[in-house]
């Protein structure tokens, strides 16, 4: 892909970067650009028929990225909101209000705003949908079709937010990271398909039921060291376990038990990056009685053990 970067207020500055795709099934490269506009670091990871880009930047003005390729690409791009960055004392998994964008073209134009500091791009080739075991490939490709004009935009729910964070925080240094990212790229498509084609009309959920869902979410996040089951949570919210689990998945886009697990992993990451607590102490703080079980869960979630995260920071 050829990438041209145009600072909006400095037309004479034109940075052209050509990143050559490796014939290997997995390849990682990074490029840094600096100028009067600020600093941009582009990271690219090549997978099978799929490429993941991340842009980390500190800029003082809006920057426009123009990408050109020789084949049709199915692109997902997501400006990472500030509240998805981990900082001390900050709550995690706030109510999503962002949108993720989809388009199908060989020419991509995306603007980087000073209001954000990270952008995630995922490029899928047509071969990805035909031979990557995704199933329903025609239906998945339809998500990228203009309705009525590109790009398509889908609201980000908790499930999508968690997967995008896992992709962004994955370490290219991990020897099996390509397997992990391939699975996450496929999972993200599946989640987007569910949002684009909901099985249940969330409008049927009453205001009282929504209030109960928000209460349950608050209870979970206030103290992750506690282990609640659906029955206990439903009693505290004034509903029943079946209704709670059904409405929670439909409203937030993620099963209740998966949400609890994701919260624990995200909180653990926050503590690893912002405190001096030991891995054992963090495991207990997020509800694990056995540090080995915590380490295994963390590795399954991110692709590397918790101790590795501090080495990468």
User: Do both 36 and 11 map to the same domain?
Assistant: yes
Tally of CB atoms within 10 A around 199: 7
% of residues, the chain, pLDDT over 90: 15
* pLDDT the model gives residue 72: 82
Q: Give the CATH number, domain containing residue 88.
A: 2.60.120
Q: How far apart are CA 94 and CA 91, in angstroms?
A: 7
pLDDT surpassing 90 at residue 295:
yes
Across the strands, what pairs with 101?
A: 77, 153
What tokens appear for 285 in the block? Answer: 């703080």
Higher pLDDT, 145 or 87: 145
Give the single-character DSSP code of 8: T
Tally of CB atoms within 10 A around 20: 9
Structure confidence at residue 294 as a pLDDT band (50, 70, 90) = very high
* pLDDT the model gives residue 296: 93
User: Do both 190 and 209 map to the same domain?
Assistant: no
The full length of the chain comes to 313
Q: How far apart are CA 41 and CA 57, in angstroms?
A: 6
* Domain extent for 172: 2-196
Q: How far is CA 55 from the centre of its chain?
A: 13
Provide the 3-class DSSP secondary structure of residue 124. Answer: strand
* pLDDT the model gives residue 137: 61
User: Do both 160 and 17 map to the same domain?
Assistant: yes
What tokens appear for 120 in the block? Answer: 């995630």
Q: Which string of b and e fits 121-139 if b means at least 16 CB within 10 Å?
A: bbbbbeebbeebebeebee
- What are the C-alpha distances in Å from 215 to residues 209, 230, 241, 267? 10, 13, 14, 19
pLDDT surpassing 70 at residue 74:
yes
Q: Give the CATH number, domain containing residue 273.
A: 1.10.10.60
User: Do both 139 and 119 map to the same domain?
Assistant: yes
* pLDDT the model gives residue 285: 95
Contacts (Cβ under 8 Å, ≥6 apart) of 8: 61, 62, 63, 64
User: Do both 126 and 255 map to the same domain?
Assistant: no
Question: What pTM was computed for the model?
Answer: 0.65
- Compute and round to an integer the Cα radius of gyration of the chain: 20
**Domain endpoint, select from 196, 230, 261:** 196
Residue whose C-alpha is closest to residue 80's, from 128, 113, 39: 113
User: Do both 116 and 225 map to the same domain?
Assistant: no
Residue whose C-alpha is closest to residue 142's, from 196, 68, 70: 196
User: Do both 306 and 281 map to the same domain?
Assistant: yes
Average pLDDT over residues 113-124: 85
Q: Write down the mean pLDDT value for the chain.
A: 77
User: Do both 286 and 306 map to the same domain?
Assistant: yes
pLDDT surpassing 70 at residue 8:
no
User: Do both 53 and 137 map to the same domain?
Assistant: yes
Residue whose C-alpha is closest to residue 46's, from 70, 20, 66: 20
Contacts (Cβ under 8 Å, ≥6 apart) of 194: 253
Are 237 and 244 in contact, with CB atoms under 8 Å apart?
yes
User: Do both 182 and 271 map to the same domain?
Assistant: no
**Domain endpoint, select from 196, 219, 254:** 196
Across the strands, what pairs with 166?
A: none
**Domain endpoint, select from 196, 230, 249:** 196
pLDDT surpassing 80 at residue 51:
yes
User: Do both 17 and 116 map to the same domain?
Assistant: yes
Residue whose C-alpha is closest to residue 26's, from 183, 171, 178: 178
Give the single-character DSSP code of 144: T
User: Do both 127 and 37 map to the same domain?
Assistant: yes
* pLDDT the model gives residue 280: 94
Per-residue pLDDT tens digits for 166-184: 888 776 665 667 777 888 8
> What is the total count of domains within the chain?
2
- What would you measure as the largest C-alpha separation in the chain, in angstroms? 64
Structure confidence at residue 111 as a pLDDT band (50, 70, 90) = confident
> Could you give the residue ranges of the DSSP H alpha helices within the chain?
126-131, 137-142, 158-169, 177-196, 207-222, 230-237, 241-252, 256-274, 279-285, 291-302, 306-312
The torsion angles phi and psi of 81, rounded to 5 degrees, stand at: -70, 155
pLDDT surpassing 80 at residue 140:
no
The angle subtended at Cα 170 by Cα 167 and Cα 172, nearest 5°, is 120
């Amino acid at each position: 892909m050829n990438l041209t970067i145009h600072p909006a207020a400095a037309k004479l500055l034109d940075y052209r970067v050509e990143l050559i795709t490796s014939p290997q099934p997995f390849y990682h490269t990074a490029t840094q650009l600096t100028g009067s506009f600020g600093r941009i670091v582009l990271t690219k990871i090549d997978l099978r028929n799929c490429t993941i880009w991340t842009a980390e930047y500190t800029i003082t003005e809006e920057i426009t990225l123009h990408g050109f390729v020789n084949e049709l690409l199915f692109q997902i791009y997501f400006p990472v909101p500030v509240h998805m960055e981990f900082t001390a004392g900050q709550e995690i998994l706030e109510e999503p209000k962002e949108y993720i964008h989809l388009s199908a073209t060989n020419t991509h134009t995306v603007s980087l705003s000073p209001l954000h500091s990270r952008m995630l791009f995922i490029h899928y080739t047509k071969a990805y949908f035909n031979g990557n075991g995704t199933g329903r490939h025609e239906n998945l490709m339809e998500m990228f079709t203009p309705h009525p004009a590109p790009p398509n935009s889908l609201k980000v729910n908790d499930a999508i937010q968690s997967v995008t964070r896992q992709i962004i925080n994955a370490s290219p240094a991990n020897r099996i990271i390509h397997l992990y990212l391939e699975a996450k790229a496929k999972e993200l498509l599946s989640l987007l398909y569910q949002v684009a084609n909901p099985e249940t009309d969330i409008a049927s959920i009453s205001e009282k039921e929504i209030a109960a869902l928000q209460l349950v979410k608050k209870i979970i996040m206030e103290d992750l060291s506690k282990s609640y089951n659906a029955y206990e949570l439903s009693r505290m919210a004034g509903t029943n376990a079946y209704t709670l689990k059904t409405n929670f998945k439909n409203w937030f886009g993620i099963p209740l038990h998966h949400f609890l697990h994701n919260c624990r992993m995200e909180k653990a990451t926050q503590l690893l990056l912002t405190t001096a607590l030991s891995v054992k102490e963090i495991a207990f703080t997020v509800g694990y009685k056995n540090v080995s079980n915590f380490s295994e869960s963390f590795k399954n979630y991110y692709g590397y053990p918790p101790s590795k995260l501090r080495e990468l920071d």
